[in-house]
Structure 1
Amino acid sequence: MDQIAAMRAFVRVVEAGNFSRASDLLDMPKPTVTKLIQQLEAHLRTRLLNRTTRRVGVTPDGAAYYERAVALLSDLDEIDASMARSQSSPSGRLRVDVPSSLALYSLIPALPDFFARYPDIRLDLGVSDRPVDLLAENVDCAIRGGDLLDPTLIARRVGEVRLMLCATPGYLQTYGTPLHPRDLEAGHRVIGYFSARTGRRVAFDMERGEERHELDLPYFVAVNDSTAYLAAGLAGLGITQTIEPMVTPYIESGALVRVLPDWHSAPIVLHVVYSPNRHLSSRLRVFVDWVAERFAGGGAYRPGQGAIQLPVQP
């Protein structure tokens, strides 16, 4: 027995005064309404209605049940309506973790658009290059680049990004301009980047056609945050390999110069990840969809207008 359907049928019969009118209001065949009432009475082990050839009356038990059923069905309708409203206008708090470079150069500058669409959502942004434990730290979702190390997470690919080698004009004037990746091993300074999770330093990765080089170069300074990495490059401490949208404004301004422009890194794939144990609420769903839209357009990473820029050494 569908108890909710039976309760709705019972309430309509009481209010209509007969089965025929109730079946019309419910858009349901009269025999179906009759069967539902019979099943409900059998379930409750009591008679709810007194039936005559002209009218249906309510028993004392039926009158008491009617009052409770009307209240319960009203609450159920309100729950359904509130859920429908939440789907059309999501609200509440989302805890999101984002790498520094993505936060400063794409996500945060684009947030006015997100809040214009979803003004009732509150975002708590964790901004760092440290991978978080989504469950242990109660994070709804995270944006991550590169290989996914946790196969238990649900991942949605949203785009990709490449790295560029850059240095300041002052550095190149002092140390010269490399013409081939192997030149970096001869007298050049590089800025190292090491994983905040493992402490392992990331090698320089460069390819041109079929030729590929992965160089684990000596360094004078290394950091584990992408924003600090860019700051070290802008300070003229050495050559960096930084995501393209992050350095583009500085190349355009002349603060940085691209090194080995004919060489590229393998693309880094970007994903939005969340735990399979995390309920995909309407607010989480619209945020994931918005991020995918943000990084759409041929799968490329799109820097935002008004990206936050770091001060440049004079």
Structure 2
Amino acid sequence: MANLESFIRSAEHGSFSEAGRRMSLTPAAVSRNVAMLERNLGVRLFHRSTRRLTLTEAGEAFRVGIAEKLDGIQAAIAEVATGGGEPAGTLKVSLPPSLGLTYILPLLPGLLARHPGIRPEWHFESRPVDLVAEGYDAAIGGGFELSPGVVARALAPAHIIAVASPGYMAGRVRPADPAGLRSLEGVVMRAPRTGRIRRWTMRDAAGQEMPVLLPESVVVNDPVAMREAALLGLGAAMLAVPDALPALESGQLIRLVPRWYADAGAISLYYASRTLVPRKTRVFVDWVTDAFGKQKLAERFAGSLM
């Protein structure tokens, strides 16, 4: 199995060195594994040069032949490699910057103390990734398309609330409902994928709904930038509760129209649904889910309960 994984990783990255980094092996060990696989198959799988590995015709045919089974093979290799025991290997995760840095990254020391064989490779990015195509073990966020073989475990509601800084609101009348937000300067976000200003409809506990018509006084393309602009007193903004919560708790931001919130779905943990989920992925999923429960983050992120 180690020989097969060495071939797969080397074919993916075109390098014994990069394959070795992913597998915590030396380039020489990866090269030996591939050479042993070639001897067992009786064919040469790679053209080797000082710059890059390229697949031979036989190597490409072999890669294509196992491509549809690749995820299952890699999951089985990960399971066998750990002997069903301690999880190990690179854990590639995609996280939204604010949520990831504030709530998920602090969980890492405890996870690594419990499972030292795991090597985190965490990407902080404001986009839905393709878990399978981009090689992620897991992702946290919202709005992901559930491609075949990917499941979502809901962690908390994704509620959006209206906020502003105390300095900005000084001397201004607080709006009584979402319609009143139009009287304020607005910090709004242009969605990078669509190029459109994101608009929201707010609701209250009684089920009433009302559109939010914030003026486009300041336009940004990132939710963290939107929060920072609100902290600078540039206007009111519609922020996800996790992004706003630390500033709300410290008093740097105040909530406007507190009975109202917009529902953007759920913050979920995404991972590939394989017959054999690698242990590194399974322990990460369980660790994060348990932390959300212990810290009552689902309740704290609910704009309807704040």
TM class by shorter chain equals 0.5 to 0.7
Question: Which of the residues 140, 146, 155 maps onto 1:150?
Answer: 146
SS for the counterpart of 1:154 is: strand
Mapped partners of 1:123, 1:86: distance in 2: 20
Mapped partners of 1:296, 1:253: distance in 2: 23
Residue 134 of structure 1: how far off its partner (Å)? 2.3
Could you tell me the TM-score, scaled by structure 1's length? 0.62
Deviations 1:255-314 (A, max 9, x none): 1111111222226312222345796211011111212222226771668xxxxxxxxxxx
Number of aligned residue pairs: give it.
222
Larger radius of gyration: 1
Q: Which amino acid aligns with 1:131?
A: P
Partner of 1:200: 196
Partner of 2:179: 182
Q: Which amino acid aligns with 2:253?
A: L
Residues 164 and 243, structure 1, Cα contact 8 Å, conserved in 2: yes
Any stretches of 5+ residues in structure 1 without a counterpart?
1-78, 304-314
Partner of 2:187: 191
Could you tell me the TM-score, scaled by structure 2's length? 0.64
Residue 184 of structure 1: how far off its partner (Å)? 1.5
Any stretches of 5+ residues in structure 2 without a counterpart?
1-75, 302-306
Question: Which of the residues 288, 292, 302 maps onto 2:289?
Answer: 292
The 1:291–1:274 alpha-carbon spacing in structure 2 relative to 1, beyond 3 Å, is: same
Residue 205 of structure 1: how far off its partner (Å)? 3.0
Residues 155 and 271, structure 1, Cα contact 8 Å, conserved in 2: yes
Mapped partners of 1:224, 1:278: distance in 2: 39
Mapped partners of 1:96, 1:272: distance in 2: 10
Residue 252 of structure 1: how far off its partner (Å)? 2.9
Deviations 1:29-71 (A, max 9, x none): xxxxxxxxxxxxxxxxxxxxxxxxxxxxxxxxxxxxxxxxxxx
SS for the counterpart of 2:298 is: coil
Mapped partners of 1:150, 1:112: distance in 2: 30
Residues 139 and 269, structure 2, Cα contact 8 Å, conserved in 1: yes
Deviations 1:149-190 (A, max 9, x none): 3342322222324222110112112543212211112x3111
**After TM superposition, where is structure 1 displaced by more than 3 Å over at least 4 residues in a row?**
82-87, 275-279
Partner of 1:95: 92
Residues 181 and 213, structure 2, Cα contact 8 Å, conserved in 1: no
The 1:87–1:239 alpha-carbon spacing in structure 2 relative to 1, beyond 3 Å, is: farther
Mapped partners of 1:295, 1:101: distance in 2: 16
1:239 aligns with 2:233: no
SS for the counterpart of 1:96 is: strand
Residues 206 and 265, structure 1, Cα contact 8 Å, conserved in 2: yes
The 1:273–1:238 alpha-carbon spacing in structure 2 relative to 1, beyond 3 Å, is: same
Residue 216 of structure 1: how far off its partner (Å)? 4.7
SS for the counterpart of 1:104 is: helix
Partner of 2:220: 223
The 1:192–1:91 alpha-carbon spacing in structure 2 relative to 1, beyond 3 Å, is: same
1:260 aligns with 2:260: no
Residue 143 of structure 1: how far off its partner (Å)? 0.9
Mapped partners of 1:107, 1:203: distance in 2: 28
Question: Which of the residues 137, 149, 153 maps onto 2:134?
Answer: 137
Q: Which amino acid aligns with 1:225?
A: D
